[in-house]
Chains A and B, each alone.
Chain A
Amino acid sequence: MPGPVFLRGDDVALHTVSEDDYAFLQRNWNDPAVRPGFGGATVMHGEAVADHVEGLAESDEGEIFLVCADGDPVGEGFLFDLDSQRGRVELGYWVAPDAQGQGYATETAELLVEYAFTERRLNKVVARVLAFNDGSRRVLETVGFEHAGRFREDFYFDGEYHDADLYDLLAAKWDGPRRPGDTGDASAEGGAD
């Protein structure tokens, strides 16, 4: 079962990752329907799962959370490449295929952005989206990220190079999570289409 709740939203809660969750993470990280969304092309064996989780959880340069809905794991939200001196961090997330389309990724991104700005005193959150990943792009735009540029041929997947779109959000532009009734496509999801 997942670790305790660390950040709580309306539909999802972000839990610390326990060893019991490794099987869920490993299944999705290896899933051909999930990993293209973040450009994952390496086989994740059991040891690599532990290394990845512990690497983020135990370092000063990131955090990793299990995204749960009604107590069940539905995805992962994480912060990485955190640089306190510059006040910036990069955001990542994915939602398992059978849980997509319910706004979980959007709420996860909002919770992590709010955490980065209001608890960790960071100034900027950046994100990188594979150019074909319209679901993930909608998540970022709904949360309030702005398109900042494009890295050409930044990933290699499905026999060819893919550009990555760069997004950023500054603390000064952040007005807190959307409230009910705000406009925005809350059904957008990360992961591959």
Chain B
Amino acid sequence: MPGPVFLAGDRVTLRPPEEEDLEFLCRNHNDPAVRGSMPRVHPQRREDTRTEYLEGSDDSVGLLACRGHSPEADRLGFCALFRINEDSGRAEVGVWFAPDARGQGYATEAVKLLVAHAFDERRLHRLDAGAMVSNDRSRALLERVGFTEEGRRRDYYFVAGEYVDRVEYGLLATEWNGD
């Protein structure tokens, strides 16, 4: 059973990841259909998943995305603010969703909840995000949320045997309308 609700939307809740979520997190983190778009190319053992997802750090906020508000809610994916820099007021946004949880608007709602938290509760000023140029799903999600394409890092990733550009996105608190 997932942990307590920290952020709640209409259909999605974000919750601090708990020991019981470890199996879901570890399985998806290693799933080629999930890790391929981050990209992550190293196998991750359960212990390392615990370190990365459960222990947390001062400069990141990671939350498990679940369907619905009940204690038995289904796990959908994970989203995070990381490299939080309080002095300049910025952070990066990252998100992945399990393959069977995609295409229904859940990830968009989850990222909007996270963005609202960053601006309205954490007092941040700017959010960064990046996506492989070939990752149409992530790029469309960022644009739906309101991110602006700001540039491109050439040959930034090595994926499936070739170099791929990274598209840089940014969203300012002043541009965020909160819906």
Q: Which residues of A line the B interface, CB within 8 A?
A: 60, 84-87, 119-121, 123
Contacts and interface: CB of A to CB of B under 8 A. Distances in A.
A85 B123 contact: yes
Interface stretch (B85-93, B98-106, B108-116, B150-158): B85-93
B55 interface: no
A87 B58 CA distance: 16
B121 A121 contact: no
Contacts of A60: 58
A interface SS class: loop
A60 B86 CA distance: 10
Interface residues of B, number: 9
B46 interface: no
B45 interface: no
B58 A85 contact: no
A121 B87 contact: yes
Nearest to A87: B123
B122 interface: yes
A59 to B, nearest CB: 11
10 contacts: A84-B86, A84-B123, A85-B121, A85-B122, A86-B123, A87-B123, A120-B87, A121-B87, A121-B89, A123-B123
B12 to A, nearest CB: 23
A85 B125 CA distance: 12
Contacts of B87: 119-121
A38 to B, nearest CB: 27
Nearest to B89: A121
A170 to B, nearest CB: 14
B80 to A, nearest CB: 17
Contacts of A120: 87
Contact of B88 (A86, A87, A121): A121
A121 B121 CA distance: 15
Nearest to B86: A84
A86 to B, nearest CB: 8
Nearest to B122: A85
B124 to A, nearest CB: 10
A85 B123 CA distance: 6
A58 to B, nearest CB: 13
Most B Cβ at <10 Å: residue of A86, A87, A120, A121: A121
A37 to B, nearest CB: 31
Most A Cβ at <10 Å: residue of B88, B122, B123: B123
Contacts of B86: 84, 121
Contacts of B89: 121
Contacts of B122: 85
Contacts of A84: 86, 123
A124 to B, nearest CB: 12
B174 to A, nearest CB: 15
A108 to B, nearest CB: 21
B150 to A, nearest CB: 21
Nearest to B125: A121
A60 B88 CA distance: 15
Given A85-B121, A87-B123, A121-B88, 4 more contacts: A84-B86, A85-B122, A121-B86, A121-B87
A85 B121 CA distance: 7
Interface in B54-78: 58
Nearest to B84: A84
